């Protein structure tokens, strides 16, 4: 199982309440940031452990997403994988084994928050979370916090953790509170104003 470390990482992330991780990967002379998502999603295949998002370091708009388990990627177009990673055709039936072996060797087995603290990784992950949030795509200016009647989304949680750590620390253990963002920078409010408004409700 070339990707065995993925299960270890997934389990450690879940035990620590983390939804996203990021690490670097090099293959065939190319560098990638790999974002790991471990929260439940409606389109998650039956045997998937996590979703992996590969972003080229030289152009993070160029990306490849896949579900994966301990053995391989799942439900993917072979041509897309070959084109993205520059893999040549092979007749031996093990077309992606060198890719899986290289990736498996670099997947961390534990979550370490210091990876997110590295500036380029943090900026890359934050940008991904902002544009990928299905409820609030491209919204990044915090203006309010409110009780949501349920549980805040993984994207809402991670965006605030990375972008607004001061206010996140206040509500970190209160998943029933969501953070509200706008696309308009003029809507942004400072922490004191947001907390005062929340307390007054």
pLDDT (0 to 100) of residue 46: 87
10 vs 49: CA distance, rounded Å: 7
Name which of 137, 136, 123, 138 is nearest 178 in CA terms: 136
DSSP letter at 95?
Answer: T
pLDDT (0 to 100) of residue 42: 81
175 vs 183: CA distance, rounded Å: 23
Beta bridge partners, 179, equal 145
pLDDT-derived band at 90 (thresholds 50, 70, 90) equals: low
Q: Which residue has the tokens 């087995």?
A: 109
Torsion of CA 158, 164, 169, 171, to 10 degrees: -70
pLDDT-derived band at 91 (thresholds 50, 70, 90) equals: low
26 vs 85: CA distance, rounded Å: 10
pLDDT (0 to 100) of residue 113: 92
pLDDT (0 to 100) of residue 92: 52
pLDDT-derived band at 43 (thresholds 50, 70, 90) equals: confident
Q: Is the pLDDT of residue 89 over 90?
A: no
pLDDT (0 to 100) of residue 78: 85
96 vs 21: CA distance, rounded Å: 23
Return the domain boundaries, the chain. Answer: 5-117, 133-200
pLDDT-derived band at 175 (thresholds 50, 70, 90) equals: very high
């Amino acid at each position: 199982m070339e990707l065995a470390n993925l299960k270890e990482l997934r389990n450690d992330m879940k035990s620590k309440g983390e939804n996203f991780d990021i690490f670097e990967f090099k293959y065939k002379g190319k560098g990638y940031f790999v974002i790991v998502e471990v929260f439940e999603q409606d389109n998650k295949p039956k045997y998937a452990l996590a979703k992996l998002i590969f972003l080229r370091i030289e152009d993070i708009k160029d990306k490849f997403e896949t579900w994966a388990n301990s053995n391989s990627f799942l439900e993917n177009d072979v041509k897309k994988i070959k084109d993205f990673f520059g893999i040549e055709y092979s007749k031996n039936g093990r077309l992606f084994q060198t890719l899986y072996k290289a990736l498996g060797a670099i997947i961390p087995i534990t979550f370490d928050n210091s990876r997110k603290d590295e500036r380029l990784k943090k900026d890359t992950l934050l940008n991904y979370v902002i544009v990928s949030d299905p409820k609030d795509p491209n919204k990044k200016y915090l203006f309010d916090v409110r009780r949501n009647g349920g549980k805040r989304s993984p994207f809402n949680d991670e965006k605030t953790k990375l972008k607004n750590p001061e206010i996140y620390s206040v509500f970190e253990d209160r998943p029933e509170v969501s953070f509200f963002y706008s696309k308009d920078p003029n809507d942004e409010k400072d922490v004191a104003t947001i907390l005062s408004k929340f307390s007054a409700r």
